[in-house]
Structure 1
Amino acid sequence: MTLFQTILFIVFLFSLQPSASVEICRVSCGNQLVRFPFRLSSQPDRCGYPRFNLSCKDQAQTVLSLPFSGEFNVVHIDYLFQNIWLNDPDHCTPKCLLHGLNLSSTPFDSLYPRSFTFFNCSAAASTQLHQAKHISCLSGTNFSVVALPADRLDSSASLSTSCLEIATVLVPFSWTGWSNLGNGIMLTWNEPNCLRCETGAGNCMFKSETGLDVGCSGGFTNGLSRHAKYGILFGAGIPVLFIVGLVIYLRNKVEEDYNNRHPNQPELLSTTPRLDASVKGLDGQTIEEYPVTLLSESRRLPRPNDNTCPICLSEYQAKEMIRTIPDCEHYFHAVCIDEWLKLNAAFPLCRNTPQTLAPIVSSSS
C-alpha cells in the first residue's frame, strides 16, 4: 500500500471515532451513564434534547423531575429500546400514581399501561381478596390498601360491600410489577428516534449547532461523505478487496472447522432469535417455539410460590395456558408473555435476550 493510500485509510479510521463534543456530553452520576438525548443540568444545552434534563444529587443519584408529578429517581436508562425506569424517592410508587402522574408536558409515554382500582379495606377483608395486590406502603395497622385490575372487578363483587373505593388510575408497569417496593414504573419516548444509531453502536447527537435534527457519530453506519468514500475506495483499491476476501475466507474456514468438530450441533445462525423489523421484539414463529403448558384443576406449578404472573399480576387459574422460558426457567400467562415478546426481545424478569430456542412442549400439570 502506498503512502497516499495509507494516509487515506488512517483518515477514514479517525472519522469513525467519536468527536470531542461527544465525549464531553457523556458523564456519569453514580452508576448511571448520562448521554444524549439526556443531559445533566450542569452540561451545555446541546448535549441533550429539549425536556430531557436530569440532575445529579450528591454525585450518586440521578433524578428526573416531571412537571406536576414531582421528582423520581432514575433506576436505569435503556438507550437502545428508549425506555427509562423510575422509582419514587420514598419507595412508594403507588402513592405517586394516586396523586396523579401527568405526562402531558413531557416527552415520555407510559409503556404497557393498565387500569387499576385502589380500595381501602379492613385488615380482615383484605385477606379474602386473592387477586388484589396489597400496597404495604399505604396500609396501616387496622386497614389495608389493595389494588385490583379494573377489568377484573366483575369477579370481585364483594369489594363493594367490604371495601371503600379510592380511585382508578393507569399504571405504567415495570418489568417486575409496580406494586413491589423498589420496582417503580417504566416510561418510553419516541422522539428523538436514535434506534438506528444505537443499533449500529454509534453516538446519537445533533447534526449541527442549531435546530433539532438528529444524526449519528461513529458506529457501523457512520462514514464520510459520498465523494470522500469514493476517493477512499479508489485509493485503497485492490488491497481493500484482498482484505475483504481474506476475512470471508477465514470466516468460512472457522465455520467449516466448527461444523466438523460439532456435526450434531445446529448451525450458529439457526439458533439466533429472529427479530421482527417493524417492532422491537420477536416474531410470532420464535415466540411459539417456547413451551406451553395447560394448567389442570390442581393448578400445579413448577414453583408453587410463584403463583402470580409477573406481567398482569394475576394468579394462575385452572385451564389457563402458561408459557415457560427454558433459558431462565421463568413462566407467565401465554397471552401476557406473547404480547410482551412482540414488543421487547428481552425477558420481563431477568432482562436477558434469548440465545437458544426451545421446542414446543404441551402437557397438563
Structure 2
Amino acid sequence: MSLFLAIFIIFHLLHSTKGQTDDDFFKICPPIKCGDEGPLIRFPFRLDSQPRSCSINTTLLKYDGDGDGYELSCSGNTTLLNLPWSGNFTVTAIDYLYHTITIKGGDSWSKCPLQGFLSLNFTSTVFFPLKVSLVSCPRNSSWIIPDKVVGPIACLSDDPNQSIYAASGFLSVDVLPDICEKYSKVDLWGIGDHFDCTFACVIDKLRATREVKLGYVSDCYTCEEKGDFCGWNQTMDTMVCLQSK
C-alpha cells in the first residue's frame, strides 16, 4: 500500500468516526423540552430520563454531590431543577452562551424572596456564588451606595430598632457606617444578566419576581458563540464542540 493511500484512508476514517460520534450523540441526547413554552434542555443539562452520558462527567469537575449536578426533570409542562437539601425549583430559562439557568422560588418565597433564597443549601452543586453581606444598622439610619447596597429590607428583621441591608460581599468594611455592623456573610448563588447586571439589580429582580440566575460550571462559550453545541465524548472523556442539528 502506498504512503499516499494509507494517509488518505486514515484521514477518511478519522472524519467518518467524528461524524458518527456527532450523530450518535444527538441521537442519544436530542435537545428536548418539557412543554412548548419551556426552556430547551441540552448539554450540559439533561432530563432524568436521558443517559448520564448526555451531560458532563462531573467527576472531572471534582463535584461530589448526588447525581450529576446537571439533571433536570419534567412535571407536566414545567421544567424542574432539584437542589440537594432544598427541593425542586421551576426552571424558566437557560442561557447556554453565558452559562446561566434561571430558577423561580415557590409561593413560600412570596413574603420575603431574599430570605427564601438565602436559606437554600448549595453545598456540592455545580453552581458558583455571588458574595452577599448582611448589615445591621439602627432603624433611623440610612445607608446608600448605588448598585452595591440594597435596603433596608424589612422582611429580614423582626427587631423594631434595627434595619437590615444586603451589600455586595466584595464591598470593603471601610465604607461601613460606624453605627452599622456586618453580622453575616453568605454566598448568594446568583448572577446578573450576561454578567452586566449590578449587585443591586440582582437583588431587586429577585425581590420582584422570585427569580434568580444561577451561574454553572462550563467551558463552552467559544463553541456556543459559533452557533454550535457542546457535547461529551465518552471515548476521550472530555467535552467537544459539535455542529448544531
Tell me if 1:32 matches 2:39: yes
Contact 2:25 2:231 in 1 (8 A): no
User: Deviation string for 1:134-192 (max 9, x for gaps)?
Assistant: 435546796886324263665433345xxxx763323334333224332543332334x
Output the CA distance in 2 between the equivalents of 1:66 and 1:217: 29
Contact 2:93 2:101 in 1 (8 A): yes
Pick from 19, 22, 32: which aligns with 2:26? 22
Task: Give the residue type in structure 2 aligned to 1:38.
Answer: F
Output the CA distance in 2 between the equivalents of 1:183 and 1:64: 15
| Offset at residue 32 of structure 1 (A) | 0.9
Distance 1:166-1:73 versus aligned 2 partners, 3 A rule: farther
Output the CA distance in 2 between the equivalents of 1:159 and 1:28: 48
| Offset at residue 37 of structure 1 (A) | 0.7
Larger RCO: 1 or 2 (CA < 8 Å, sep 6+): 2
Tell me if 1:186 matches 2:206: no
Contact 2:105 2:117 in 1 (8 A): no
Output the CA distance in 1 between the equivalents of 2:137 and 2:106: 23
Pick from 71, 84, 96: which aligns with 1:79? 96
Task: Tell me the SS of whatever aligns to 1:71.
Answer: strand
Distance 1:168-1:72 versus aligned 2 partners, 3 A rule: same
Aligned to 1:147: 165
Distance 1:99-1:59 versus aligned 2 partners, 3 A rule: same
Aligned to 1:129: 142
Aligned to 1:99: 119
Task: Tell me the SS of whatever aligns to 1:187.
Answer: strand
Taking the TM superposition and a 5 Å limit, the aligned residue runs for 1:238-257 are none
In our comparison, the structure showing a higher alpha carbon Rg is 1
Tell me if 1:89 matches 2:123: no
| Offset at residue 40 of structure 1 (A) | 1.2
User: Deviation string for 1:97-150 (max 9, x for gaps)?
Assistant: 4435434x122212xx233215487xxx26x42424143554679688632426
RMSD, aligned CA: 3.6
Tell me if 1:215 matches 2:240: yes
TM-score (norm 1): 0.43
Aligned to 2:127: 108
Distance 1:59-1:97 versus aligned 2 partners, 3 A rule: closer
Aligned to 1:167: 184
Output the CA distance in 1 between the equivalents of 2:89 and 2:161: 28
Task: Give the residue type in structure 1 aligned to 2:81.
Answer: L
Task: Tell me the SS of whatever aligns to 2:92.
Answer: strand
Output the CA distance in 2 between the equivalents of 1:148 and 1:106: 24
Output the CA distance in 2 between the equivalents of 1:178 and 1:35: 28
Pick from 44, 51, 55: which aligns with 2:73? 55
Pick from 196, 201, 210: which aligns with 2:222? 196
Distance 1:43-1:63 versus aligned 2 partners, 3 A rule: same
Output the CA distance in 1 between the equivalents of 2:126 and 2:105: 19
Distance 1:64-1:211 versus aligned 2 partners, 3 A rule: farther
Output the CA distance in 2 between the equivalents of 1:203 and 1:100: 31
Task: Tell me the SS of whatever aligns to 2:53.
Answer: helix
Task: Tell me the SS of whatever aligns to 1:19.
Answer: helix
Q: How many residues align?
A: 192
Contact 1:63 1:72 in 2 (8 A): yes
Aligned to 1:225: none
Output the CA distance in 2 between the equivalents of 1:141 and 1:218: 57
Task: Tell me the SS of whatever aligns to 1:197.
Answer: helix
Percent of aligned pairs sharing the same letter:
25
Aligned to 2:177: 156
Extract unaligned runs of 5+ from structure 2. Answer: 1-15, 57-67, 145-149
Contact 1:87 1:93 in 2 (8 A): no
Tell me if 1:41 matches 2:48: yes
User: Deviation string for 1:277-307 (max 9, x for gaps)?
Assistant: xxxxxxxxxxxxxxxxxxxxxxxxxxxxxxx
